[in-house]
Amino acid sequence: MNVNWNDPDFQGFAKKNPFQKDPAAPKKARKAIGNAFGRTVINLVVTVLFAAVYYYVVLPPINLHSGDFYTFLVLTCGVYVLCAMLTSGFQGTGAKGYFQFLKKQCAIPTALAALAIVVAIVGSVAGWHVFRAAAYRDLLTVEEGDFAAEVEEISYRQIPMLDRDSATKLGNRKLGELADMVSQFEVAPDYTQINYQGQPVRVTPLEYGDWIKWLNNRAKGLPAYLVIDMVTQNVDVVRLEDGIRYTTAEHFSRNLYRYLRFRYPTYIFDAPAFEIDEEGNPWWVCPRMTRTVGLFGGTDIIGAVLVNAVTGEHSYYDVADVPEWVDHVFTAELIIRQYDYHGRYINGWLNSMFGQRNVTETTDGYNYIAIDDDVYMYTGITSVVSDESNIGFILSNQRTKETRFYSVAGAEEYSAMDSAQGQVQQMRYTATFPLLLNISRQPTYFMALKDAAGLVKMYAMVNVSQYQIVATGATVAECESNYRVMLLQNGLIEDDTAVSPAEQETLYTVTGTVAEIRSAVVEGNTHYYLRITGDDRWFEGSVSDAAVLPLVNVGDKVELVIYAAAGGVAEPIHSATVVTPASAVTPAAVTPGE
């Protein structure tokens, strides 16, 4: 054996290095399929099939302002190139080989994809905020408003006292009571807040429980929709003679998104809103979006397509021509985004980054309120410096986008919610996101207080400027009455403005014999709850409402003056009179020995 390490043939290594891999075998050449014309036809057929399936499933708008369109175009071109490689037998010989192949056999799809990518990049750069800050700022026109003069005190019938979560629970509970529907359908999560016949309500359609239930019921469509009254908490199931056939819960051709895309292929749509007109007919309001800054920036709404959910009838309207019964054309999220642009770039892009003079933004959260048969979005405005105060708020019409800013300095919404919860901390209620109301020319946060089950148990009002002024009540009328008393005690209002609008509304009288009396202590005050014989309702009041209440006994015949449509678990007493005490009623004759 050769043991000389310096010998090139040491132990036979000169013949073959055992650590060296064998050279790779040459690739087996792939044969091209048919002739050039046949290969082109195959490539085109496969590409068209891919494009058709992709378009049917993804539904990209054929619009230069949509990023989905560029994705669709580039993917389609890529499929053609891949097919060409497979059918031609091309195996690739480095970057130069691929380039030559694309140049010779896929010049058109390659150029088209490259052009789409270049246009998309240039269009994105053209919409950069650093270059177009003024355009973003001007997306939303904001006018100054006078709170006390323009925001009137509204009726209790217009105050939505249920938030979305509570409405959802009530809707699901109502469906569970319907034996003919609960096994086949579910409640859709829409719960759109609208004004319906002068009342704030939330409306939502049903949806199919699953694919099997869809197959069993699609011929008749969805049989009903729900209307939840935001004041009385009543849930109505509106059954339809002809079912809802066009919804977001449908499949194939009756799916709302697909139905719209095939009829409006170039339109870019925002999320559709389910609404009903004044006759109770269900509709889908589908906002049409555009991009006003560069190719992809500055999103705005220029119109809406209205689709009848039952018949599929559809019409397009410009924003100025949308019917007045429609409440949701501009989404709250879009308005908030546009105001944030307005507040951020009020003095240009550089100021938004350095100095930040007069830079403002919206607070976290928003709510709705009904004014003059329109739905307005409300949210607070604060400085960009992190603090717990607002400099004002905006109200924006969701049909027209008319937006006004009201300069009202005070606590931000979550601080007000904490104050309200602290007032009843022993009950561990949670507050809904507040509305801002005008109570005796005082900006006031109004919110509902819910228990752990999500049901409204009380109401609270918090003064914006002095958020230590907090009043609660079991009903809206009681809450407002307590709040006005506190305003009067703190010198914020005069005696002549301490009268609740409820006292100016129609009162009605209830006369009868007291069947039951209960009492409860709320915030240190005793509240009395009366039920009249033959009447299932409860009537509630305190000594401040009627001094005679502590003296009322079961069996007394009383006359109660009640606030109309105040809402809550018990109807509030305006005044009470004992007509005939129980002791004055002649007892029935008793037979001796009985």
Q: Which residue has the higher pLDDT, 569 or 452?
A: 452
Mean pLDDT computed over every residue of the chain: 87
**Pair 295, 283: CB distance under 8 Å:** no
* Lowest model confidence (mean pLDDT) among 190-204, 366-380, 388-402, 561-575: 561-575
Helices 36-58 and 67-88 pack at an angle, to 10 degrees, of 150
Q: What is the pLDDT of residue 435?
A: 86
Look at residue 536 and tell me if it is in a domain.
yes
What is this structure's pTM?
0.80
* CA 313 to each of CA 188, 306, 307, 309, 393: distance values in angstroms, whole numbers, following the listed order: 22, 8, 6, 8, 39
Given the structure tokens 């914020």, which residue do they identify?
492
Q: What is the pLDDT of residue 5?
A: 55
φ, ψ dihedrals at 392, nearest 5°: 170, -160
Look at residue 302 and tell me if it is in a domain.
no
Residue 500 and residue 414 share a domain: yes
**Residues above pLDDT 70, as percent of the chain:** 88
The range of the structural domain enclosing residue 77 comes to 36-126
Q: What is the 3-state secondary structure (H, E, C) of 125-136?
A: HHCCHHHHHHHH
Q: What is the pLDDT of residue 74?
A: 97
Residue 70 and residue 107 share a domain: yes
Structure tokens at 176: 């569970």
252 class by beta-carbon count within 10 Å (0-12 exposed, 13-18 middle, 19+ buried): exposed
Place 497 in a pLDDT band, splitting at 50, 70 and 90: low
Place 301 in a pLDDT band, splitting at 50, 70 and 90: very high
Longest dimension (CA), the chain: 141
**Pair 472, 449: CB distance under 8 Å:** yes
Look at residue 88 and tell me if it is in a domain.
yes
| Amino acid of residue 470 | V
Q: Which among 452, 475, 505 is the end of a domain?
A: 505
Q: Which of 390, 207, 381, 384 is nearest to 309 (CA)?
A: 207
Average pLDDT value for residue range 387-403: 92
Question: What's the rounded Cα separation, in Å, for the pair 466 and 68?
Answer: 50
Look at residue 528 and tell me if it is in a domain.
yes
Residue 501 and residue 413 share a domain: yes
Look at residue 96 and tell me if it is in a domain.
yes
Question: What's the rounded Cα separation, in Å, for the pair 538 and 536?
Answer: 7
Q: Which long-range contacts (CB under 8 A, 24 or more apart) does 71-79 make?
A: 73/112, 73/113, 73/116, 74/113, 74/116, 74/117, 75/50, 76/47, 76/50, 76/51, 76/109, 77/109, 77/110, 77/112, 77/113, 77/116, 78/109, 78/113, 79/46, 79/47, 79/50, 79/51
Element (H, E) at 531: strand 525-532
* Lowest model confidence (mean pLDDT) among 150-154, 176-180, 290-294: 150-154
Residue 511 and residue 484 share a domain: no
Contacts of 583 (CB under 8 A, 6+ apart): none
pLDDT at 107 over 70: yes
Q: Which among 105, 126, 147 is the end of a domain?
A: 126
Residue 478 and residue 446 share a domain: yes
**Pair 340, 361: CB distance under 8 Å:** yes
* Lowest model confidence (mean pLDDT) among 276-280, 317-321, 478-482: 478-482
Give rounded-to-5 percent helix, strand, coil for the chain. Answer: 30, 30, 40
Look at residue 14 and tell me if it is in a domain.
no
Q: What is the pLDDT of residue 104?
A: 83
pLDDT at 105 over 90: no
Element (H, E) at 120: helix 107-126
Residue 555 and residue 515 share a domain: yes
**Pair 562, 507: CB distance under 8 Å:** yes
Q: Which among 505, 528, 561 is the end of a domain?
A: 505
Q: What is the pLDDT of residue 46?
A: 96
pLDDT 10s digits, 120-155: 999 999 999 999 999 999 999 999 998 878 887 776
**Pair 483, 461: CB distance under 8 Å:** yes
Q: Which residues pair with 447 in a beta bridge?
A: 460
How many residues are recorded in the chain?
Answer: 594
Residue 519 and residue 501 share a domain: no
Residue 476 and residue 459 share a domain: yes
**Pair 431, 360: CB distance under 8 Å:** no
Q: Which of 435, 549, 350 is nearest to 154 (CA)?
A: 435
Average pLDDT value for residue range 334-343: 97
**Pair 566, 474: CB distance under 8 Å:** no
Residue 492 and residue 572 share a domain: no
pLDDT at 445 over 90: yes
**Pair 77, 113: CB distance under 8 Å:** yes
Q: Considering its fold, how many domains does the chain have in total?
A: 3
Q: What is the 3-state secondary structure (H, E, C) of 49-98?
A: HHHHHHHHHHCCCCCCCCHHHHHHHHHHHHHHHHHHHHHHCCCCCHHHHH
* Lowest model confidence (mean pLDDT) among 4-8, 112-116, 357-361, 474-478: 4-8
pLDDT at 15 over 60: no
Residue 456 and residue 491 share a domain: yes
| Amino acid of residue 209 | G
Place 570 in a pLDDT band, splitting at 50, 70 and 90: confident
Residue 491 and residue 422 share a domain: yes
Average pLDDT value for residue range 313-335: 97
pLDDT 10s digits, 219-257: 999 999 999 998 778 899 999 999 999 999 999 999 999
Question: What's the rounded Cα separation, in Å, for the pair 184 and 182?
Answer: 6
E runs forming strands in 294-373: 297-308, 314-318, 360-362, 367-371
> How many CA atoms lie less than 13 Å away from 312 in the CB half-sphere?
14
Place 451 in a pLDDT band, splitting at 50, 70 and 90: confident
Look at residue 284 and tell me if it is in a domain.
no
Q: How many CB atoms lie within 10 A of CB 281?
A: 14
Q: Which residue has the higher pLDDT, 91 or 111?
A: 111
pLDDT 10s digits, 558-567: 999 887 655 5
Q: What is the pLDDT of residue 524?
A: 66
pLDDT at 339 over 60: yes
Q: What is the pLDDT of residue 389?
A: 86
Look at residue 184 and tell me if it is in a domain.
no
Question: In this structure, what CATH number is given to the domain that contains residue 566?
Answer: 2.40.50.140
Contacts of 206 (CB under 8 A, 6+ apart): 175, 181, 185, 186, 187, 188, 222, 223, 224, 225, 226, 244
Q: Which residue has the higher pLDDT, 440 or 529?
A: 529
Task: Read off the DSSP letter of residue 412.
Answer: -
Place 590 in a pLDDT band, splitting at 50, 70 and 90: very low
Place 504 in a pLDDT band, splitting at 50, 70 and 90: low
pLDDT 10s digits, 523-557: 667 889 999 998 888 898 888 778 889 899 999 99
pLDDT 10s digits, 20-48: 566 655 556 667 787 888 999 999 999 99
Residue 539 and residue 463 share a domain: no
Question: What's the rounded Cα separation, in Å, for the pair 554 and 552?
Answer: 7
Q: What is the pLDDT of residue 591?
A: 41
